[in-house]
Chains A and B, each alone.
Chain A
Amino acid sequence: MNVLVFIKHVPDTETRVKVAADGLHLDLGEANFVLNPYDEFAVEQGLQLKEKLGGEVTAITVGGDDAVKSLRQALAMGADKAILCSDAGFEDADPLATARILAAAASKVPYDLILCGKHGVGGDNQQVGSLVGQLLGIPAVTVVTGMELEGTTLQLKREVEGGTEIVKASLPAVISCQKGLNEPRYPSLKGIMAAKKKEVTTWKAADLGLDPAALAPAFGLQKIELPPPRPAGRVLGGEIPAQVQELVKLLHEEAKAI
């Protein structure tokens, strides 16, 4: 059972964002970058499958040299190999370009299953799992909270509005992982030490047979801005029962929210 895990190096969720002077970028200078929280579920799932069925777990990312930190995190958790897809031509990669790069990488490594996080925090696109499945011509099931494998048949639980879908798919497949699927392990000290010695392979566009010109973004960015500040609110006063009466009246008559 060879598993590929697609990961992303992202600013953690405590990050306060600022818009850079050009109005086209975020100033993330002070942000702490980490392994995308949803990708931890994907790495964990890969490791559990490997422990049960043997094979290898390979973590793959698209990013700059700093993304090696998150690859090392996956290695420290127990992944066997790590691949960094990095090229000046990848810098503006949108979700489709990212998926094309990842699909090209996947085509060079034998796999039975591809796992990724539900979405990468920050970009919040939630596209790559579905895109890669389509590009590779294999089923993709997204936002998965439960997985059972029998032979080559997957039975999956998928979170939908107000319930859970039970989905059947067969390997090879792409699965995007949601919180609830498992409890990601913390890397052990031994794992961290071992990860330092594991090799991270770098693939450039040429190694992947990709022409960066074909990876141009589909949309042009006009601006990035912060949301308008909310108007100052009102903190009510007086005895609690009277405050509640006033609140319900305000919600009904002033805000027309109930």
Chain B
Amino acid sequence: MNVLVFAEQRDGKLKKASLEAMSVGREIADATGGSAAAVLLGQGVGPLVEGLARAGADKVYVGDDAIFAAYSDAYGLGVGKAAQAMGADALVFSATAMGKDLAPKVTARLGIGLLSDVTAFSAAAGTVSFQRPIYAGKAFATLVPSAGKPFGVTVRPNVFPVKENAKAGEVVSLDHGVTPGDLKAVVEKIVTAQGELLDVAEADVIVSGGRGMKGPENYKILEELAKQLGGAVGASRAAVDAGWIDHSHQVGQTGKVVSPGLYIACGISGAIQHLAGMSSSKVIVAINKDPEAPIFKVATYGIVGDLFEVVPLMTQAVKAMKAAG
């Protein structure tokens, strides 16, 4: 199977999720017998080829052009052209904001199917199967592409490891044929959220607060712990609906579905729609006053106590641990 991976970059840096996707693409190509390539679009992106080669790209189709400077419909055309040039049997995107917007535009253009948000796969000679969560992770479906038909997948960030598997990374200049008339929806600018904390969708540590936070002013203590752990601040629907924190922080079935290495749930009882969104986290810590709270059923470690006492102590303890090396 020839596999084409969309390499997402922002501000001249490859997204880590793209390297994860590249590693997935390499593995599928190796297991099924084929080559793996990347398609890289942007302006001044040449230096990023090397990173893709290290993660397993035999070839990189590069569209280095002012027309790709900002994300637009032109990306769908560009990826479609690369897929045709390669004779791709499978397309792999990261399930990032851009990947989720772009992938269906490419697969609709090619008239092929797309599986969203894949969290596991197994590949062997000529065949590959994929697992993806449904109902925000309340269940998992295993699917196989129709025999002999090309297909696309988006793979969830933070799930697959980046594997070093250096290949040639031969640069092929993409003959994209995009003209300014093709640009219908164009990103004019990106307004970065205030603060230095990560987005929950990208973080490997999430410190999340629910109804027990009692008010917006108290999220500060979660931010301090998140900062010490290099993580992000999350929230339950109850906290978002109360207006304490922006919806972009919401974790759960009507927010973001996350699988970080560590999820610390503070004052979150564990409604089923929240559990669906975070119970695939590798390690879960529950801090709650109510020993009967459902969150303790999924927690690796639990502290029954007042989060306003526990969280600041935890921030101090992490600080002390880091200071001690």
Residues of B within 8 A of A94 (CB): 113
Name 24 interchain pairs, CB-CB below 8 A, sorted by A: A16-B272, A17-B138, A127-B114, A143-B100, A162-B202, A165-B71, A165-B191, A167-B185, A168-B188, A179-B247, A217-B113, A218-B149, A219-B115, A219-B144, A219-B151, A221-B141, A233-B297, A233-B302, A234-B300, A236-B302, A244-B314, A250-B301, A251-B262, A255-B282
Chain B contact residues: helix, strand, loop or mixed: mixed
In chain B, what residue has the closest Cβ to A159?
B248
Which bracket fits the contact residues of B?
35 or more
- Residue from A16, A241, A251, A255 with most neighbouring chain B CB atoms (10 Å): A251
Indicate if the CB atoms of A222 and B108 lie closer than 8 Å.
Answer: no
Indicate if the CB atoms of B310 and A134 lie closer than 8 Å.
Answer: no
In chain B, what residue has the closest Cβ to A163?
B192
- Residue from B141, B282, B321 with most neighbouring chain A CB atoms (10 Å): B141
Interface presence of A164 (CB below 8 A)? yes
User: Scoring B residues 2 to 23 as 1 if CB is less than 8 Å from chain A, else 0, what string do you get?
Assistant: 0000000000000000000000
Interface presence of B193 (CB below 8 A)? yes
Indicate if the CB atoms of A127 and B193 lie closer than 8 Å.
Answer: no
Indicate if the CB atoms of A160 and B202 lie closer than 8 Å.
Answer: no
Indicate if the CB atoms of A164 and B191 lie closer than 8 Å.
Answer: yes
Known interface pairs A162-B198, A164-B191, A236-B301. Does A16 touch B100 (Cβ–Cβ under 8 Å)? no
Contact with B133, one of A124, A220, A223 (Cβ below 8 angstroms): A124
User: Scoring A residues 242 to 258 as 1 if CB is less than 8 Å from chain B, else 0, what string do you get?
Assistant: 01110110111001011
Which chain A residues (74-104) contact chain B, with CB distance < 8 Å? 94-96, 99
Indicate if the CB atoms of B301 and A96 lie closer than 8 Å.
Answer: no
Contact with B151, one of A160, A218, A222 (Cβ below 8 angstroms): A218
Interface presence of A14 (CB below 8 A)? yes
Indicate if the CB atoms of B198 and A233 lie closer than 8 Å.
Answer: no
Residues of A within 8 A of B252 (CB): 13
Interface presence of B27 (CB below 8 A)? no
Residues of B within 8 A of A (CB): 71, 73, 76, 96-98, 100-105, 107-109, 111-117, 129-130, 133-146, 149, 151, 184-193, 198-199, 201-202, 205, 229, 240, 246-248, 250, 252-255, 257, 261-262, 271-273, 276, 279-280, 282-286, 291, 296-306, 309-310, 313-314, 317-318, 321
Residues of A within 8 A of B141 (CB): 221, 223-224
* Measured CA separation A85–B38 after assembly (Å): 39
Indicate if the CB atoms of A134 and B296 lie closer than 8 Å.
Answer: no
